[in-house]
Amino acid sequence: MTEAPKKLYIKTYGCQMNVYDSERMAEAMGGQGYEQVSSPEGADMILLNTCHIREKAAEKVYSELGRYKPLKAANPNLMIGVAGCVAQAEGEEILRRQPLVDLVVGPQSYHRLPALEARARGGEKALDTDFPEEMKFEHLPTRPKPRRGPTAFLTVQEGCDKFCAFCVVPYTRGAEVSRPVSRILKEAEGLVEQGVREITLLGQNVNAYHGDAGGETWGLAQLIRRLAAVDGLDRIRFTTSHPRDMDDDLIAAHGDCEKLMPYLHLPVQSGSDRILKRMNRGHTAEEYIRLVERIRAARPDILMSGDFIVGFPEETEEDFRATMALVEEVRYGQCFSFKYSARPGTPAAERPMVDPAEADDRLQRLQALLTRQQKAAQDAMVGRTVGVLVEKPGRLPGQVVGKSDHLHAVHMTAALAPGDLVRVRITESAPNSLAGALV
């Protein structure tokens, strides 16, 4: 008689890299007889894959863990684990503060998850927050081959050496490490066999990619051009980038590689040179603006996205106005903006804070400007013909939804299925999506 699969529930916080990591953890545990489920009720193992970027990240994890006490009481054999960046930052403190947790594993060690689970099953509190010398990707199982959606994430680079004053990534993810080209190609080809037509290359600082290619070192542009030769892979994106690593070859790739989509997320964080220096960003506002000009010269229709932090320690109204001026000049099609929140252990956490009310006011003013720019970018799409990759059925009968070349959500009424790549004329702009008709 075949033993029923054990149930694994994973809750993922944060960025696309955590989404990718959760997929790989599920695959690793699949070899131990686990099947992923969508609810913690009735699970044999619960994993929280955490992010340490947002405010009070650790407290949110402890709060979530508290909700699982009744499940643990009802099923003493339930395994509960904390993975990801909060696990890396908090380590043994998680086991001390929340005794129901059985294992803690950092983002560079999750390939050891099956061994940690076995130790926990034996009654030991299992902890692994090392930065192992061996790359986790070399020890993870080959990705399974069932059909999947038409888009996928693929991590090519991890860690960061920039040490921005506000960021915990160098401490939780470690130094920059790039995967070998051959391993990435193999995984990409496997994803295409599963039905994937668009891959987003991931990295904490993805354009710092410097992977081994049989004795040579390739940059991200060379990797993209090689992936573009994979039959059946129709679209390539990458995120997240640092301005200091946008080299000439990568800029050129936006103009000469047809499969590289015209959308670029390029965070700047502030428009004030004084604040950029205090952030340790390593570039000026003017250098960033000139870089955007070069990118647009290579690909005139590219849609620019970015990140901004307002209320950074010691930011003045004059500094903030410089940020607003940069936004006006760049004209973003999409953006993410946040009020600064201190991360213990980072240099900025020790500096004088901006008055919270003033920071709130600045954030509202910035977001209002960014919203106007986003609407203008979407409105400008009306009448244009774009490629759309269908991802899922829409809310209305006969409707489907997909993503345009520029990453806009597009809905249309047509007899199409997920994975279809079609040309669509945009007919209408709504607040968060576009409507279109097949050409």
Residue 130 near residue 173, CB atoms below 8 Å? no
Q: Please give the backbone phi and psi of residue 413, each rounded to the nearest 5 degrees, phi first.
A: -100, 110
> Could you give the CA distance from residue 52 to residue 41 in angstroms, rounded to a whole number?
26
Distance spanning both ends of the chain, measured CA to CA: 55
- Residue 15 marked as a ligand binder: yes
Q: DSSP states of 61-115 as a string?
A: HHHHHHTTHHHHHH-TT-EEEEEEHHHHHHTHHHHHH-TT--EEE-TT-GGGHHH
Q: What is the C-alpha R_g of the chain?
A: 23
Chain-centroid distance, C-alpha 70: 32
In contact, 333 and 429? CB cutoff 8 Å: no
Q: Which of 404, 312, 415 is nearest to 366 (CA)?
A: 312
DSSP E strands in 172-302: the ranges are 177-178, 198-202, 211-213, 216-218, 235-239, 263-265
Label residues 80-106 b or e (16+ Cβ within 10 Å = b).
bbbbbbbbbbbbeebbeebeebbbbbb
Residue count of the chain: 439
387 forms beta bridges with 423
Kind and range of the H or E element at 48? strand 45-50
The annotation status of 85 as a binding-site residue, yes or no, is yes
Residue 167 assigned ligand-binding role: yes
**DSSP letter at 269?**
B
Distance in angstroms (rounded) separating the CA atoms of residues 170 and 88: 11
Q: Which of 235, 193, 260 is nearest to 403 (CA)?
A: 235
- Quick one: tokens of 250? 């990568």
Q: Tokens standing for 261?
A: 């989509």
Q: How far apart, in whole angstroms, are the C-alpha atoms of residue 215 and residue 232?
A: 27
- Residue ranges of the binding site for [4Fe-4S] cluster: 15, 51, 85, 160, 164, 167
Going by the annotation, the residues of the binding site are: 15, 51, 85, 160, 164, 167
